Amino acid sequence: MGEFLPLASGPAGDIAALGRGADVSAHAFRLSDEAVVARWVENPYYQHFTGETFFQHRPPIDPSSLSRWRKRIGEEGVEWLLTKTIEAGRTSGAVSDKCLKRVVVDTTVMEKNIAHPTDARLYERARALLVGLAQETGIELRQSYARLAPRLVAQVGRYAHARQFKRMRKALRQLKGYAGRVRRHLRRHLQDIPEGTLRDRVLEARSLVGRLLEQGPKSKHKIYSLHEPEVDCISRGKARVRYEFGTKVWYRGRILGVKVILSSPVVRSRTRGTLTGTEPIPVITSRSGRDHGAPSGMSHSPAFRQQTQPSTPRVPPGLPARSACARPRE
């Protein structure tokens, strides 16, 4: 992991040291990269946590370097960090071996930082994306619709507010036509684009916009964001928020493993491949993460948390309910 987490001095070492501590601080306090770097300058505890020995008065790196560092380490680097975190907990005594004898599998939704998806906004973003790529490749478009499309997006919102849905649908068809015309113009000039990364970006954008233009209200694997195409619309029955836009994530035990599910929000039959080959240990899972049969090498079939009516204040041993875990002590 030396290539991911260099320990040498200099910019590379600063980014690695700050990235390890900034990710922990960002998740603990719900901070953005810009807020983490700004708080790092004024907080000596943050600086000591990231390895500084003297108080610094200037930001060590640009906030954009943190996102580049996360892309650089990838999934392998994040798993390595999680492994080292567990080892540190066992060494310090914060986590005992007894806590690791039972695996608890549960799921949650990792929300993405995207705008609320609407047809008008998605069509306009698709048109702007294709126009930008056309300018990079030097292709002259017949018309970019840079003046008409933004005005039409605002008009769609006014029609919807006034409940003039026939006019709203007509404006949406126009926006869809603008994006389709730019996409077809790029297709006619693909032979003029030389082989390389730019051509690959154009082909990928055309494919993504094509999926967007062809999807309907009942389509599967819909696109809700062009920069995060793997986002799903997940409804978990929450009273405060009806839908959540993100990806399904399941985790094990005291965060012994984390997996992002991109293909489908349904997580059944996910524990089979992950727990195969491990020591025989009991598995406790929620109904959303239940498996059809016990994985090979398991001594017990997965147990399920039950929600019965009427509820009892007594929590069954080994099956802690969320409300019981979150209940404050009296």
Question: What are residue 99's DSSP bridge partners?
Answer: none
Q: Where are the beta strands (DSSP E) in the chain?
A: 103-111, 232-234, 244-252, 257-261, 283-285, 303-304
Is residue 293 within 8 Å of residue 300, measured between CB atoms? no
Instruction: Choose one of 180, 214, 248: the last residue of a domain.
Output: 214
Task: Tell me the pLDDT tens digit for each residue of 136-192.
Answer: 999 999 999 999 999 999 999 999 999 999 999 999 999 999 999 999 999 999 998
304 Cβ contact list (under 8 Å, min separation 6): 285, 286, 287, 290
- Nearest partner of 19 among 5, 31, 1, 9, judged by Cα: 5
Tell me, yes or no, whether 178 lies in a domain: yes
Q: What percent of the chain has pLDDT over 90?
A: 29
Tell me, yes or no, whether 152 lies in a domain: yes
* Domain that residue 286 falls in: 232-326
Tell me, yes or no, whether 227 lies in a domain: no
Domain count, the chain: 3
Tell me, yes or no, whether 245 lies in a domain: yes
- Nearest partner of 253 among 99, 47, 135, 119, judged by Cα: 99
Residue 89 pLDDT: 78
Q: Are residues 168 and 250 in the same domain?
A: no
The rounded distance, in Å, linking the Cα atoms of 25 and 18 is: 10
Instruction: Choose one of 182, 214, 246: the last residue of a domain.
Output: 214
275 Cβ contact list (under 8 Å, min separation 6): 103, 283, 295, 297, 298
Q: Are residues 145 and 194 in the same domain?
A: yes
Q: Are residues 200 and 123 in the same domain?
A: yes
Tell me, yes or no, whether 193 lies in a domain: yes
Which residues in the chain show pLDDT less than 50?
A: 1-4, 6-13, 266-280, 291-308, 321, 323-330
Tell me, yes or no, whether 238 lies in a domain: yes
Q: Are residues 126 and 177 in the same domain?
A: yes
Residue 236 pLDDT: 77
Q: Are residues 70 and 128 in the same domain?
A: no
Quote the pTM value.
Answer: 0.65
Distance of CA 307 to the CA centre of its chain: 29
Tell me, yes or no, whether 210 lies in a domain: yes
Tell me, yes or no, whether 105 lies in a domain: no
